[in-house]
A and B are shown apart, each in its own frame.
Chain A
Amino acid sequence: MQTKKIFGILSLLVAVVLFTASQSGSFLDPFNLENLIRRTSLFGIISIGVAFVIITGGIDLSIGSVICLVGCGLPWLVMVQKWPLAAAVPAVFSVAVLIGVAHGFLITRLKIQPFVVTLCGLLLYRGLARGFTQDQTMGFQSEYKGFRALATAEIPITDQFGIPMPFVLLVVLAVLAAVFLNRTIYGRYLLAIGRNEEAARFSGINTRAMILVAYVISATMAGIGGILFMMDSNFAQPSEFGNFYELYAIAAAVLGGCSLRGGEGSILGVLIGTALMQVLQNMINLVDWIPTNIEFAVIGAVILCGVVADEVVKRMAALRRAAQARTGA
């Protein structure tokens, strides 16, 4: 089932790529492609994170605000508070991990719904970030170029095109995530919990700990994303930085085959889903006759089409299988 889903979304991605390339001469520019890959990589990291939560049947709405908190917090600590970078990075990273632990604790111990917990997180972390920065734009100015290279550098392939560093990071994280999900007992536990938490608990799985782990993964990936987004743009306006990113991440995961009912999902699918979201945005920017201000409408419509098409394909496959079973019998 998953392979079919992945194939479907991959076809959609190819279709949008071909369409955009045919409509806009600048789409295949090395500069544009590089940029597209860079953004896909950054968003891919946070989408993988939220996929783990979605697989357990939960949701994480706080991602964008965690990105803001971490992304503004890092330059604030370094530039305003004059912390050494070597202390500031572990500090903001720990904050992200702790946020995940707090979410997991509230959800598994106090039994508060994930939607509520992370919605409050969404408001809380952005509010905090705007508070301590006093709404001032944060950035490293021209300092710490070496560190920022983690996000801005690239591995040259030709003299015009290079593979952006974040892509390398994404590949590493995605491989780790896929191995964790499909090859370890913990990944299996998460999938089982997403489908039937009660039966998982009766099978001796520490369901609370596993769900907590999922929220920690989500918040941690958002934290890593926050640092990278910051280093990439070197410019973070606390009232806007990371706005709506949780929705992009959730949409990518859903497009990529994660069911919000839980228990289903693949990392490869999430990556393709992320790429599709980015190419769509790129398409809207590049193709002249599509007005830029309808961006959300286009993205919403495409996601809806993807999900509907998936459902239609599923039913047709079921019908075909039934027919085959009949003639085969």
Chain B
Amino acid sequence: MAAASPSPLLTVERVTKSFPGVRALKGVSLQVQSGEVLAVIGENGAGKSTLMKILAGVQEPDSGTITIDGKPARLDSVLSALRHGIALIHQELNLADNLSAAANIFLGREPRRGPFIDFASMNERATKFLKDVGLRIPPTTLVRSLTIGRQQLIEIAKALSVNARLLIMDEPTSSLSAAESETLFAVIRQLRERGVSVVYISHRLGEVRELADRVVVLRDGENAGELSRAEATHENMVRHMVGRDLSQFYARRPHPAGDVVLELKGLRSPVWPQHAVSFALRAGEIVGLAGLVGAGRTELLQTIFGVVAPAGGTMTAAGRPFIPQSPRDAIETGIALVPEDRKQEGLVLGMDVAENLSLPSLRRDQRRGFLNFPREREISTEMIDGLRIKTPSAAQIVQFLSGGNQQKVVLGKWLALDPKVLLLDEPTRGIDIGAKREIYALMDQLAARGVAILFASSEMEEVLGMSDRVLVMHEGRLSGEVARAELSEETVMHLATGGDRREAA
């Protein structure tokens, strides 16, 4: 294929980049051919996002050269990168959600007639780009009314509208449903046919295998190998990323479930008030919560945690009635929630690692209202070591950690609280494969200590691998429960898409 072409589209040589206390890139080289899908993989903090930001002109390298079409290029701003045809699709989408799809695609470059926006021509041209990314929606659709997956396609359409030849996607599927991911892959394949190159970052090795023509592995800011499509097996990728084999991925030891610690009796979340949800959670159990995106899993977890008031029903925690009015009530009952959206709900980005880790425990550890500094230090060392959070110090501002390490901080702040019931909403999102395994092992340990774990996940593999039993949701109701013995992808998917419990069994 195009991989043999003599002059690559882009060549990066010995690029370095340092931040205070961190050498993020220590001389990384990379080539991108036109019309190829290149996957870049590596552990959390390996330097993937930093490299991509350099290519997109968001950050400048300290040293190293970048060559585009055989000519040296200086990418000192997003604009100059765009002029060279390089566009970065940010993980946090950058759309004005109060505007239409067409208006977003042409934001800042609206076709004009005199001083006025020429809406007719704008919409007409937008329709073409929307079709290119497989979106059959009117160009006047408000972006707000679209799902995250579709919004992402609009970002891609926007990049195409400026004639991007190289699209960089940093963990694009981390908040997409399985179906949305498939659509995205189809679009990526089409772009490849048309000669557009795609650099693709993901921690989901299955996707990488399915999609990539070539895989570049980074480790600790250095090149750690390159794999052709044929070589890119799961084991091979892991070995290059981690530097060793990872055997026994899902660490589940059987342990008996204890007493009921949390019971929902006809609980109704405010988003789906017509559906009453009932189930019980026992000490030492790991229960998976499966369902399609938008099935109401997050709403259910947030209702249990007191973020939103229930529209009806009751709960009992440790045998006592429990109706949380706020997360604080839930925390006092021994319930913790690792939320889905780490930047909005999980972290105070502008505070440092130690302050974030101790935030929920401040009340418990207080000395008559005063901060307990020794305890705060204890928590942060314990969590940084235990979860292997990669940070120059406990005083590093969380904003400057890599995505996966931020997620570990969110986990750590809740573990510091020693919860009895741990609710996890997509706990391994954006986390590398080594860290994932650590988190699975941790879940197992917690369960062995008697913690009840309820975890929502869109990754079928981890649901199947980790759960003692699985609750499946469909459009706000509990559509079924599957015991470990009966667990299979088909059973779960059948229930998740609205199938009936008995047909499934």
Contact residues of A with B, CB < 8 Å?
Answer: 183-186, 188-189, 191-192, 195-196, 198-206, 263, 321-322, 324-326, 328-329
Chain B residues positioned under 8 Å from A192 (CB to CB) = 348, 351, 355, 359
Q: Are A202 and B337 neighbours in the complex by a CB distance under 8 Å?
A: yes
B231 → chain A, closest Cβ, in Å?
32
Chain A residues positioned under 8 Å from B327 (CB to CB) = 201-204
A204 and B360 in contact (CB under 8 A), knowing A185-B366, A321-B20, A329-B62? yes
A200 and B370 in contact (CB under 8 A), knowing A188-B362, A326-B18, A329-B16? no
Q: Are A201 and B326 neighbours in the complex by a CB distance under 8 Å?
A: yes
| Bound-complex Cα distance A189 to B351 (A) | 12
| Bound-complex Cα distance A192 to B346 (A) | 12
Chain A residues positioned under 8 Å from B176 (CB to CB) = none
Contact of A325 among B18, B360, B371 (CB under 8 A): B18
Q: Which residues of B, 330-378, contact A by the 8 Å Cβ criterion?
A: 330-332, 337, 339, 344-351, 355, 359-360, 362-363, 366, 369-371
Chain B residues positioned under 8 Å from A263 (CB to CB) = 348, 350-351
Chain B residues positioned under 8 Å from A328 (CB to CB) = 18
Q: Are A195 and B349 neighbours in the complex by a CB distance under 8 Å?
A: yes
B250 → chain A, closest Cβ, in Å?
28
Chain A residues positioned under 8 Å from B349 (CB to CB) = 195-196
Q: Are A202 and B21 neighbours in the complex by a CB distance under 8 Å?
A: no
Contact of B307 among A185, A202, A206 (CB under 8 A): A202
Contact of B355 among A188, A204, A326 (CB under 8 A): A188
| In the complex, the 6 A-B pairs of residues with the closest C-beta atoms, listed nearest first | A325-B18, A204-B331, A185-B362, A204-B328, A195-B350, A203-B359
Residue among A189, A199, A204, A324 facing the most chain B CB atoms (10 A cut-off) = A204
**Scoring B residues 46 to 66 as 1 if CB is less than 8 Å from chain A, else 0, what string do you get?**
000000000000000011000
Chain B residues positioned under 8 Å from A191 (CB to CB) = 351
| Bound-complex Cα distance A277 to B21 (A) | 38
Q: Are A325 and B16 neighbours in the complex by a CB distance under 8 Å?
A: no
| Bound-complex Cα distance A199 to B359 (A) | 10
What is the interface of chain A mostly: helix, strand, loop, or mixed?
Answer: helix
Contact of B370 among A185, A203, A204, A322 (CB under 8 A): A185
* B116 in contact (CB, < 8 A): no
With both beta carbons as reference points, the residue of chain B lying nearest to A329 in the complex is identified as B18
| Bound-complex Cα distance A31 to B93 (A) | 61
Q: Are A198 and B344 neighbours in the complex by a CB distance under 8 Å?
A: yes
Contact of A202 among B18, B332, B339 (CB under 8 A): B339
B389 → chain A, closest Cβ, in Å?
18
Q: Are A196 and B344 neighbours in the complex by a CB distance under 8 Å?
A: yes
A53 → chain B, closest Cβ, in Å?
18
Contact of A195 among B16, B330, B348 (CB under 8 A): B348
Chain A residues positioned under 8 Å from B131 (CB to CB) = none
**Scoring B residues 403 to 426 as 1 if CB is less than 8 Å from chain A, else 0, what string do you get?**
000000000010000000000000
Chain B residues positioned under 8 Å from A186 (CB to CB) = 369
With both beta carbons as reference points, the residue of chain B lying nearest to A259 in the complex is identified as B350
| Bound-complex Cα distance A328 to B19 (A) | 10
Q: Please name 8 pairs of A and B residues whose Cβ atoms are closer than 8 Å in the assembled complex, sorted by A.
A: A185-B370, A195-B348, A202-B345, A204-B327, A263-B350, A321-B20, A322-B62, A329-B18
B202 → chain A, closest Cβ, in Å?
26
Chain A residues positioned under 8 Å from B339 (CB to CB) = 202
Contact of B21 among A183, A205, A325 (CB under 8 A): A325
Q: Are B413 and A203 neighbours in the complex by a CB distance under 8 Å?
A: yes
Q: Are B348 and A202 neighbours in the complex by a CB distance under 8 Å?
A: no
* B23 in contact (CB, < 8 A): yes
With both beta carbons as reference points, the residue of chain B lying nearest to A182 in the complex is identified as B371
Chain B residues positioned under 8 Å from A183 (CB to CB) = 370-371
Q: Are A195 and B351 neighbours in the complex by a CB distance under 8 Å?
A: yes
Chain A residues positioned under 8 Å from B362 (CB to CB) = 185, 188-189
Q: Are B345 and A198 neighbours in the complex by a CB distance under 8 Å?
A: yes
Chain A residues positioned under 8 Å from B350 (CB to CB) = 195-196, 263
| Bound-complex Cα distance A189 to B327 (A) | 15
A98 → chain B, closest Cβ, in Å?
24
Chain B residues positioned under 8 Å from A321 (CB to CB) = 20
**Scoring B residues 7 to 28 as 1 if CB is less than 8 Å from chain A, else 0, what string do you get?**
0000000001011111100100
Residue among A191, A199, A203, A206 facing the most chain B CB atoms (10 A cut-off) = A203
A206 → chain B, closest Cβ, in Å?
6
| Bound-complex Cα distance A191 to B344 (A) | 16
| Bound-complex Cα distance A328 to B16 (A) | 13
Contact of B62 among A188, A189, A200, A326 (CB under 8 A): A326
| Bound-complex Cα distance A183 to B26 (A) | 40
| Bound-complex Cα distance A328 to B22 (A) | 10
| Bound-complex Cα distance A204 to B339 (A) | 13
Chain B residues positioned under 8 Å from A189 (CB to CB) = 362
With both beta carbons as reference points, the residue of chain A lying nearest to B330 in the complex is identified as A204
Contact of A185 among B21, B344, B347, B369 (CB under 8 A): B369
| Bound-complex Cα distance A115 to B26 (A) | 49
With both beta carbons as reference points, the residue of chain B lying nearest to A324 in the complex is identified as B20
| Bound-complex Cα distance A325 to B21 (A) | 7
A57 → chain B, closest Cβ, in Å?
12
With both beta carbons as reference points, the residue of chain A lying nearest to B338 in the complex is identified as A202
| Bound-complex Cα distance A183 to B366 (A) | 10
Q: Are A202 and B346 neighbours in the complex by a CB distance under 8 Å?
A: yes
**Scoring B residues 317 to 334 as 1 if CB is less than 8 Å from chain A, else 0, what string do you get?**
000000000111011100
With both beta carbons as reference points, the residue of chain A lying nearest to B368 in the complex is identified as A184
Chain B residues positioned under 8 Å from A200 (CB to CB) = 348, 359
A325 → chain B, closest Cβ, in Å?
4
A278 → chain B, closest Cβ, in Å?
31
A314 → chain B, closest Cβ, in Å?
14
B497 → chain A, closest Cβ, in Å?
31
A205 and B328 in contact (CB under 8 A), knowing A321-B20, A322-B18? yes
Chain A residues positioned under 8 Å from B370 (CB to CB) = 183-185
Chain A residues positioned under 8 Å from B348 (CB to CB) = 192, 195-196, 199-200, 263
B60 → chain A, closest Cβ, in Å?
9
Chain B residues positioned under 8 Å from A204 (CB to CB) = 326-328, 330-332, 360, 363
| Bound-complex Cα distance A199 to B371 (A) | 19
A203 → chain B, closest Cβ, in Å?
4
A329 → chain B, closest Cβ, in Å?
5
B409 → chain A, closest Cβ, in Å?
11
| Bound-complex Cα distance A23 to B186 (A) | 75
With both beta carbons as reference points, the residue of chain B lying nearest to A262 in the complex is identified as B350
Contact of A184 among B22, B355, B369 (CB under 8 A): B369
